[in-house]
Amino acid sequence: MLFIGPSSEHQTHRIKSSLSKAMLSMPSYLLEPLEESSEHAQYFFSIEWLNFMLSTLHALRIDNVLCVGSPRLFDFLSACGKKTHKPLSVRKFLLDLDVRLASFYPPSLFARFNALNGYFFSPAEEESARTFMHSCNGNTLIFCDPPFGVFMEPLVETLNRLKEEIGCSNTFMMVTIPYFIGRKLIQVAPLMKMLDYKVTYENHVRFMSSGHDGNNSKRRVSVVRLFTDAPAHKIVPPKTIADDYWFCESCQRYSDIKNKHCNMCNACTTPHGETYVHCKPCGTCQPPSYQHCDVCNTCFRPQEGTFHECAEQTFTSHREPKRRKTYT
C-alpha cells in the first residue's frame, strides 16, 4: 500500500520510506514476495538468471516481450532499456495476478490476469493488453514463470491463445518449471524442449545455485529449467559459465558438461545430477545409482537396509540384485 505521509494505522507494519521514482517504477524490487499464497508463490529471479535472459533476448533478436507472471523480468527489462552497458530496446507488457502491481504500473504496461482461465480483471486493462499484442511486429517472446504446482493443460491453452492473439509467425514461448514436471508440459505442448540452463531465484533457498551437484551443495542446486520452442542452438551460455556447457551436434543445443549424448536414446539424457547411463533392458538412460532387476525387468534405486519388492511378483524380494550392465 502506498501513502504520502506518516499514518498511525500502519505503525505495526514494515514501512519503506524515501522511495525514489526509479524504485517506484520497479515494484518487484520493492514489494515483499507473496510466498505464502499457493495462487501466487512468488519467487524473484536472481541477477545471474536475468543477465542470461538479457543475452538470450539479444541472441534471438526479440522485439516484443509479453511477461506472464514474471514481474522481476519485466522490471529488469525496464532498467535495461534505460542506461545500461548493453541497452535493450524492446516493447513489453506484463500480465500478472498480483493486485498490488496495479498501483505501480499504468494500464498501458500492465493488466491483472489469471493465466489458468485467461481472465482479465479489468476491461480497460484487457483492451490495453490486446492493443499491445495486436501491435507486435518482428520477433516476439511470451515468457511465463508459473507456480510450480500449476495445472499445465489450462496454462498452455492460455499461452496458445495469447500467441494466436499476437498473430505473428515469429512468436516464441518460454516457461520455467522444475525438470521433473516438464513431462507434463511437453505432453500438452510437444514443441517445447527443455534446456539445461539452471534457473535461479534470489529468495528460494533450494533454487539459488546454478553450480554442479556435490555432497555439500546438492540441495541448493536449482532443479528449475527453461522450456522453449525457440531455436535451441541460438541460446548460448554466457562467457561466465561457458566452460560448464558443450554443444551437442546431434541435438543442436548446448548441454550441461555432465549431460552426455546417448547414441541409443539419440538424446542428451541427464536432466540433473551425475551422468545417466543407458540400461539396455529398459531401453532408457537411468541415474548411475540405479540397478536393474531381472525379475521385474525394471530399474530401481536401492536403499540401504531395505528390500526391493518386485512389481510383478509380490512375494519375491531381494536385497542385492545383479548390477545392470551399462552401455555408451
Tens-place pLDDT, residues 291-322? 999 888 889 988 876 767 775 454 444 444 44
> Cell for 235?
541460446
Rounded Cα gap, residues 326 and 328, in angstroms: 7
Q: Which CATH superfamily is domain 33-236 in?
A: Vaccinia Virus protein VP39 (3.40.50.150)
Rounded Cα gap, residues 15 and 53, in angstroms: 32
* Closest by Cα among 241, 235, 240, 261 to 250: 261
Rounded Cα gap, residues 109 and 128, in angstroms: 8
Name the residue with cell 504446482. Answer: 149
Best-predicted range by mean pLDDT (25-29, 153-157, 217-221): 153-157
Which pLDDT tens digit goes with each residue over 196-246?
A: 999 998 865 454 444 544 444 444 688 999 999 999 999 999 888 899 999
CATH 3.40.50.150 domain range(s) in the chain: 33-236
Rounded Cα gap, residues 213 and 221, in angstroms: 6
- 8 A C-beta contact, residue 97 and residue 115: yes
- 8 A C-beta contact, residue 319 and residue 308: yes
How would you classify the pairing of strands 253-256 and 245-248? antiparallel
Q: What is the DSSP letter of 201?
A: B
Average pLDDT in the 259-277 region? Answer: 96
Rounded Cα gap, residues 279 and 282, in angstroms: 5
Name the residue with cell 505501480. Answer: 104
pTM of the model: 0.84
Q: Beta-carbon neighbour count of residue 224 at 10 Å?
A: 22
